[in-house]
Homo-oligomer: A and B are copies of this chain.
Amino acid sequence: MTTDPKHLKRMKAIKEKQDQKIAAADQERGVTILLAGPGKGKSSSSFGMLARSLGHGHKVAVVQFLKGAMSTGEEMFFSQQDNVDWYAMGDGFTWETQNKEQDIASAKRAWAKAEALLADDRYQLVILDEITYMFKFNYLELQPTLDALKNRPEKMNVILTGRGPKQELIDAVDTYSHILDEKHAFKAGVKAQPGIEW
């Protein structure tokens, strides 16, 4: 099959640049990823990478710092899969519990679990879902998380999600996506949909 010579020339040039970029990225190690911002797609993106990771036969773990009071689609689905350890250890939103002491105790329990997972080299992926709120509300100190990320097994990938991340956390991670909320169905009056929001 032939193709437009201009297109071919342009594509060859792009391919050359892409190949150079790929050759330059030669470090083989696990990465830390922060997904933050007001837009939809933070936790869901982490769960998509979890599925990807399972596709490669990895062992994975999830600690949810807010969710826990109510079953979610993600928990119902993934907790049935092989190679997944799922810990939904939150009590719900702070305005639902209305109890700061209880929220702090839950945060500490969840962190103890997370800290153990981050030191366990059987896991290729650990997700700390909505952990940033714990730092934002001063329910947890940031430093132990920074230390655990730094000292984790070399091949381990870690994903952290939630709004309002502290600058020190942004500085510490390899990849940071900030998700803008340009438009949201909920604000336009559509009820939160199962399978989409939870």
Contacts and interface: CB of A to CB of B under 8 A. Distances in A.
Interface of A: 1-4, 7-8, 11-12, 14-15, 18, 21-22, 24-31, 33, 35, 37, 39-56, 58, 72-78, 93-102, 124-125, 157, 170, 173-196, 198
A190 B48 contact: no
A52 B56 contact: no
A26 B41 CA distance: 22
A88 B31 CA distance: 27
Question: Which 3 residue pairs across A and B have the least CB separation, nearest first?
Answer: A55-B73, A44-B48, A47-B48
Nearest to A105: B1
B33 A40 contact: yes
B3 A98 contact: yes
